[in-house]
Structure 1
Amino acid sequence: MSKKDNNSAAVILAYLNAKNRPYSAQDVFCNLQKQHGLGKTAVVKSMELLALEGKIKEKTYGKQKIYFADQDQFKNVNDADLKAMDSQISNLNEKMQALSQNCRQMEAELKELNGSLTTQEMTSEIARLRDECSGCRERLDKIKSVANHVTPEEKDKVLKEHNIYVKEWRKRKRLASDMMDAILEGYPKSKKQFLEEVGVETDEDYKVVVPTV
């Protein structure tokens, strides 16, 4: 057996003894290939040789062979030992769950802290906000100090009057337009000539647009 085959056999033997459960050659290849770079042919050859040497056990089920560690190397355990092991496993599982939960909580806290401002950033942000507040306060004081400032009531009154005038403007513009259309039905000349003769000036002449209400 080459040195490479010896290394493969040693790795597989250690793995089977450590796991102490049945595996096929395919299982061992999949589990060890990535970490140890073992080829499938080398795995099959090494496991068959280890079984032939009696270092591992081999069982055949139909066309598939199963390999597992030689149980003679492990000490016998009684029911009390098994119960103690079960209790130990249960305790370890509880500890693992508690640690996992604590780890998740700490990861969440770390994520929150990483998303928060540092002390230096907070200090800078506070200073910026204070400057902004100071500027707003100065502008507010200037507005309040103006003697002829418009009150909200006065502003509402102006807006209401503006709406009334605009509506009246539209109404009168429409009436004038309707009257001119009626006259132009029997007028022999164009609308432009009619407007010039009667001396009517329109909003369009001065590029005036009626405001929207």
Structure 2
Amino acid sequence: MSKKEGSDCVKVKKYVEQQNRPYSVNDIFLNLHKEVGKTAVQKALDQLTAEGTVREKAYGKQKVYVYNQELFPPLDETQLKEMDTRTAELCTTLKEKETQLCETEGMLKQLMSTPTTQEAQKKATQIEAEVSRLQQKLSDLTENRVLVSKDERDKVVKDNDAMTKQWRKRRRIATDILDAILEGYPHPKAHLYEEVGVETDQEAGVTLPKT
């Protein structure tokens, strides 16, 4: 056996022993990241099989190789029970981590779909401006006693109700976000509002219509 063949044989033996599971020649070739040629893997396995280090089993045309289990030191009953207990503990931990992962992914998805404070503030400002415009238009029409059709009036009322609903919804979203931030914020609410540039309804001179 050449020096190169001996080195390849050592690599194959070490891998099969460490993994301790059945592999085909192609599996070992790929798992060693092609460090050992496929032909060299087969030669090494033939050599190890002849030595009794590896067992060969045939399944039809397919052959698999596994490390000779008799070469491992025997495990006593206590060690086996400890391993079984440890395996059960790890399985339980794995299930818990998988559950936590699912919950965290769900929370992340929800947070990703929730508008940022800046987006909510911008939308709220737009809605407030639109509501104010419609309220002014409604006031002008009322004061000037301009006759409008029932359909036009109903549309104005419907639009006003829709905008007010959006205003109330966006205002609630912004408030919830700010309240969540305040839970871990070291300063008063007024300081946070000033820092992020939040303008309240009172500061804007508008009042949310009553339902």
Would you call these one fold, judging by a TM-score over 0.5? yes
Following TM superposition, by how much is the alpha carbon of 1:95 offset from its aligned partner in structure 2, in angstroms? 0.5
Q: What CA RMSD, in Å, does the superposition of the two structures yield over aligned residues? A: 3.1
Q: Deviation at 1:146?
A: 2.7
SS in 2 for 1:67: strand
Q: Which residue of 2 aligns with 1:23?
A: 23
Match of 1:48 in 2: 46
Q: Aligned equivalents of 2:16 and 2:132: distance in 1?
A: 75
Counterparts of 1:86 and 1:113, CA distance in 2: 40
Which one of the candidate residues 138, 149, 162 is aligned to 1:140?
138
Unaligned 5+ residue runs, structure 2? Answer: 154-211
TM-score when scaled to structure 1? Answer: 0.57
CA distance in 2, matches of 1:84, 1:37: 37
Percent identical: 28
- Aligned counterparts of 1:92 and 1:22: Cα–Cα separation in 2: 24
Equivalent in the alignment of 2:112? 114
Cross-structure match for 1:58: 55
Which one-letter code corresponds to 1:25 in the other structure?
V
Contact 1:58–1:65 (CA under 8 A) maintained in structure 2: no
Alpha-carbon distance, 1:93 to partner: 0.7
Deviation digits for residues 23-49 of structure 1, max 9, x if unmatched? 33244335x16x446543232123223
8 A contact 1:23–1:68 mirrored in 2? yes
What's the offset of the Cα at 1:16?
1.5
Q: Is the 8 A contact 2:45 2:54 kept in 1?
A: no
Determine the structure 1 residue equivalent to 2:123: 125
Equivalents in 2 of 1:131, 1:138: separation in Å?
11
| Paired residue type of 1:58 | R
Unmatched runs of 5 consecutive residues or more in structure 1: 156-213
Deviations 1:164-196 (A, max 9, x none): xxxxxxxxxxxxxxxxxxxxxxxxxxxxxxxxx
Which residue, 84, 87, 103 being the options, matches 1:86?
84
Q: What is the aligned length?
A: 150
